Structure 1
Amino acid sequence: MVEVNQSTAAPVTEVYPDLPTLTKAVADKLLSTLKRTVEEDGEAHVALTGGGPGIGVLKAAAELVTSGEASGFEPAWANVHIWWGDERLLPEDDADRNDKQAHDALLNLLVADYGLPEENIHPMPTSEDAATPEAGAEMYAEELKAHGPAGGGDGLSLPQLTVHLLGVGPDGHINSLFPGKQALQVSGQPVTSENSAPAELGPPMRVSLTFDAVHAARRVWLITAGESKAEAVSKAFAEETPVEEIPSKNARGAAETIWHIDQAAAAQL
């Protein structure tokens, strides 16, 4: 049985009237948090997520940057590193890849006009890079390790994520950690594989950060919206719900855990 990590920050909620208000608020907060971290620590690392709300945050960030609204609280992009919480093992330019959607929404803009170095973007392996999710997981673990404490080490070696953004599926999954799957049990390593994601959620072969990697992030910000998510949100806050049924219950950051939800998703709380 997977236990909720009680040494991490207990979750709190922020409820917004609708999805556009939610995504703009999270984008605003993300930019200012990355800026503060760069100023204090010299660099910042963020793990992105896919899905409508997750990509919506990136689009909102692009609007803030290009409109000038981000002036004064935008980070020095040369000192920001971009990671992903999970990815589909597909060709590089496949529209279903989270990193492709993120590039279209924000990253291409930051590289072209705002000084984000290409080498600071760390996409998960493509199907051209890795023949299997297991191989892809090993490759991404090595990439994380190269940017971890002292550039390496054993075990759970990865950079300190300033923020790990997470979407939440109607089934309560986060990253590619799905209800009832073996990946929920993986510990002692930052990355795992998934060969049989639920058919209704698209391509089955995935690479995903583990619960251990999520818990190592300073801040975990969940972003979800819509009536279809209300039951999963409610169950995630119910004491009796097992993690195996609603994996997002175990989505917690080391210092902060915030569920950003719209009124529809909060309807059953």
Structure 2
Amino acid sequence: MGPTLNAETADPQIEIFNDRAAVTQAIAQNLLRVVTEVLGEQELAHVSLTGGGAGIATLEAVADLLRDGSGTGPEWSRVHFWWGDERLLPRGEADRNETQAREALLDYLVTEHGLPETNIHAMPTSEEAAHPAAGAKMYAQELERCAPEGGIPGPHGALNMPEIDVMLLGVGPDGHINSLFPGKESLSVVGQSTTGEDDAPQRLGPPMRVTLTFDAVHTAKRVWTAVTGQDKADAAVRAFAAEPDVSEVPAANARGRHQTVWHLDRAAAEQLNQA
């Protein structure tokens, strides 16, 4: 049976901005606000990061807000960072999401704002895992290490992972999120937090990936997408079809438990009725 929309998650809200800079600025401001609010209610906050142009630009926008003083940062020592997916490459490779996120924000938080290195939970490198299945198992163990006793409720039983307060996602022109690509077996993996992908589309670079599953995405309290550029317009309109086919447009299933927000620039939203 193929993947279907999770009816227990929040229906998506659409917010449209003039351009990518406006999209990333808005998400950055909201991220600082929400993480600060979360830490007012609980001991730790967990944020899942994404790669891609808009995803990394969002992290750069957070750093800019902190540097110029227009954004009030939370107590970073209480924030943990995770990833939605990663390319199985050597540590420090430019194509790794971790490398780009460190350059955009995380290294700055470590050196200037007291973020402990132990709060950065990078997915395995190719030196640590020879194959995506091994990397997925390793990251599942890391998630479990920070999980509450008994795990957290998932669509197909408890998952041993922390509850993600904000999950940032990008959307590919083909409608993929994380490394959950159209037509792949990984779309139907249930009851576990991670899975491997050894055959990502060639046009997207290295084929071997580790990714969170749909089940893991659906445990997040808030899922926020950053979708920019005319090349994303077709994926966006297909994701918002009356009855989207998740196996063809995985982004349709990018949904959080309490909140789902799609942030689009006008180019990406041009085919939507709301644009």
TM-score range, shorter chain: over 0.9
Percent of aligned positions that are identical? 55
What is the alpha-carbon distance in structure 2 between the residues aligned to residue 164 and residue 152 of structure 1? 18
What is the alpha-carbon distance in structure 2 between the residues aligned to residue 8 and residue 152 of structure 1? 18
What code does the residue aligned with 1:198 have? P
What is the alpha-carbon distance in structure 1 between the residues aligned to residue 270 and residue 22 of structure 2? 17
Aligned 1:91-130 pairs, distance under 5 A: 91-130=90-129
Offset of residue 257 of structure 1? 0.3
1:136 aligns with 2:135: yes
Which 5+ residue runs of structure 2 have no aligned equivalent?
none
What is the alpha-carbon distance in structure 2 between the residues aligned to residue 139 and residue 207 of structure 1? 10
Counterpart secondary structure, 1:12? strand
Offset of residue 33 of structure 1? 0.6
What code does the residue aligned with 1:32 have? R
Q: Contact 2:85/2:209 (CA < 8 Å) preserved in 1?
A: yes
Q: How many residues align?
A: 267
After superposition, the Cα gap between the structure-2 partners of 1:139 and 1:155, relative to the gap in structure 1 and judged at 3 Å, is farther
What code does the residue aligned with 1:40 have? E
After superposition, the Cα gap between the structure-2 partners of 1:125 and 1:151, relative to the gap in structure 1 and judged at 3 Å, is farther
1:216 aligns with 2:215: no
1:158 aligns with 2:161: yes
What is the alpha-carbon distance in structure 1 between the residues aligned to residue 20 and residue 226 of structure 2? 10
What is the alpha-carbon distance in structure 1 between the residues aligned to residue 211 and residue 117 of structure 2? 22
Q: Contact 2:151/2:158 (CA < 8 Å) preserved in 1?
A: no
Offset of residue 151 of structure 1? 7.9
Counterpart secondary structure, 2:149? helix
- Structure 1: 4+ residue segments shifted above 2 A: 150-155
1:244 aligns with 2:247: yes
Counterpart secondary structure, 2:70? coil
Match of 2:188 among 163, 185, 188: 185
What is the alpha-carbon distance in structure 2 between the residues aligned to residue 44 and residue 240 of structure 1? 34
Counterpart secondary structure, 1:241? coil
Q: Given the two structures, how large is their TM-score scaled by the length of structure 1?
A: 0.97
- C-alpha root-mean-square deviation of aligned residues, in Å? 1.2
Offset of residue 241 of structure 1? 2.5
What code does the residue aligned with 1:148 have? A
Counterpart secondary structure, 1:150? coil
Q: Contact 2:169/2:226 (CA < 8 Å) preserved in 1?
A: yes
Could you tell me which residue of structure 1 aligns to residue 258 of structure 2?
255
Offset of residue 240 of structure 1? 3.0
Q: Contact 1:145/1:151 (CA < 8 Å) preserved in 2?
A: no
Counterpart secondary structure, 1:46? strand
Counterpart secondary structure, 1:266? coil
What code does the residue aligned with 2:159 have? L
Counterpart secondary structure, 1:265? coil
Q: Deviations over 1:60-105 (max 9, x none)?
A: 000000111113xx11000000000000000001000000000000
Could you tell me which residue of structure 1 aligns to residue 206 of structure 2?
203
What is the alpha-carbon distance in structure 2 between the residues aligned to residue 159 and residue 6 of structure 1? 22
91-100 or 149-158: which moved more?
A: 149-158
